[in-house]
Amino acid sequence: MTKKDKIVYQIYPKSYLDTNHDGWGDMQGVIRRLDYLQELGINYIWFNPMVVSPQRDNGYDVADYRSFDPRYGTMEDFEELAREAKKRGIDIMFDMVFNHTSTEHEWFKRALNGEEKYKNYYIWKKGKGPGVPPNNWQSKFAGSAWEYVEKFDEWYLHLFDVTQADLNWENPEVRKECADIVNFWRSKGVHGFRFDVINLISKRGYDDDPNNFDGRQFYTDGPREHEFLKELNRSSFGQDEEHLTVGEMSSTTIENCVQYAGADSDELDMVFSFHHLKVDYKNQKKWELQDVDFMALKKLLNTWQVKMQEADAWNALFWNCHDQPRSVSRFGNDKEYRRESAKMIAAALHMMRGTPYVYQGEEIGMPNAYFTSIDEYVDVESTNIYKVLLAEGKSEEEVLHILQERSRDNARTPMPWDDSENGGFSDVKPWLKSADSYKEINVKNELADPDSIFAFYQKLIRMRKEMPLVQEGLFVPMLEDHEKVFAYQRVLGNETLICLNNFFNEETEAELDPEGYEIVLANYKDAALDKVTKLRPYETIIAIRK
């Protein structure tokens, strides 16, 4: 892949900047902030879906793949945005949601009208008996993954919300529709595509899950997955030499990702995998809390780096996205060491092998929202699980604490531009409450501080753009048994880079050979390397030997 110097910045457009006074972010808001993004140094903006949607799942329930929701703007606004971004050396990446559509989509409406062509666009099955769904699979948003339609005496599959009906990728007409949608956006100047939960499109039968779990073994990395992706590549984005693609891979394996994102696989450029973001899930369950299992985190990061490298496959590197709580609250300390830990977490990621993704607000160290009432949450997953956990007997205090740690709304609070009302995001009530931290943690304050988290991100991004060592270097794990430090080397020719990261809020020591190394970036001003290097709380040191 000749795109190893790229950095992608993710914008959740609903929460970026509102210019038309409706409490929603919009495309004109992004246009106003393009100079800010150029200053940061990014190459691509990945936008979460802005197309027409009932917003049951914040745009991941698509009702029309080719038209913008007017709350974000018009096609003319988008064309202006694409032009203005290109002037600043920035390309656009769009989110393609192809596992399912909204039940408000014309295809599904025509299916409900009994049009056989469109009924075959979705997955319908007979129940096991009156009122009994076809199998025991659970939706990822709680409850059965099947919904009954009396007219047909059949059930349709929805792995997500009941209004998100799964598409039938076994139908070649569906595959052609999806390629046509990619090509439509290519014609509008879009070169980047992020494919939502794309490894769920090939199902391997519809039996009951014998573990009474959720059925994922039947629909994850299915038997025709690689065939479908190769076909999509050939018939759409693969025709564009400038394309940049990434697949969101739910509960996937390295063995599959090596194929999805191998240098010669003709599928995708890179993959998102989420195993490293489950190391604080007790018993692998999202809504059960535990401290971060640091040794598990280290092992996962090292394993994915090494195994993907061995197969010449490429990772997307990320801590944050619209579906994850804020990394500084999760892996760092957003109270006593917010600045130090935000910088350390960034360094640990950006010096690895792969393409870094920066999620809006990450570059200024935005923490979780810490909402104190269920009325402040809007995400369907959070409001559903609130009821489920209360019904299981947990206290309201306990459930709210779990949501403070885990809710997707933590990532979706409005971007704080300054310390004015709503952080300068909007002059009316935002669609989602601003985090109370915006008075102190905002872009204006960051840009005024030469030692800011933002300035640190600029340096990391510049290093990737300017240094073949960071782009191409071999990843070599270091200090694998150290219980506090995540460390590694990058090696290219005669050059070696080391990256040392203390993931804890107490001092620790790391033994290494410092001979010939020069520190090029650190988050403490007086950082030093020694045979026994003392690392302060959340200290990071990047050094190079030539």
| Residue-wise pLDDT tens digits, 32-53 | 999 999 999 999 999 999 999 9
Spatial contact of 222 and 202, defined as CB atoms under 8 Å apart: yes
| CA atoms of 386 and 378, how far apart (whole Å) | 11
Q: Which of 57, 30, 51, 162 is nearest to 96 (CA)?
A: 51
pLDDT surpasses 80 at 413:
yes
| CA atoms of 102 and 61, how far apart (whole Å) | 4
Distances in whole angstroms, Cα of residue 239 to Cα of each of 23, 84, 345, 363: 39, 24, 37, 34
Task: Say whether 207 sits in a helix, a strand or coil.
Answer: coil
| Complete domains list, the chain, with CATH | 1-94+321-369+407-466 (3.20.20.80), 106-166 (3.90.400.10), 172-314 (3.20.20.80), 471-545 (2.60.40.1180)
For residue 266, what pLDDT band results from cuts at 50, 70 and 90?
A: very high
CA angle 253, 258, 259 (to 5 degrees): 105
| CA atoms of 90 and 478, how far apart (whole Å) | 35
* Tokens matching residue 492: 């290219």
| CA atoms of 474 and 470, how far apart (whole Å) | 9
Spatial contact of 240 and 192, defined as CB atoms under 8 Å apart: no
pLDDT surpasses 90 at 138:
yes
- For 290-300, what is each residue's pLDDT tens digit? 999 999 999 99
Query: According to the model, what pLDDT value does residue 1 have?
Result: 53
Sheet-wide strand order for 44-47: 270-272, 244-248, 192-195, 91-96, 44-47, 8-11, 355-359, 316-317
- For 422-468, what is each residue's pLDDT tens digit? 999 999 999 999 999 999 999 999 999 999 999 999 999 999 999 99
Task: Say whether 161 sits in a helix, a strand or coil.
Answer: coil
Beta bridge partners of 246: 194, 270
Q: Which of 497, 542, 11, 538 is nearest to 294 (CA)?
A: 538
What positions carry a catalytic annotation?
196, 248
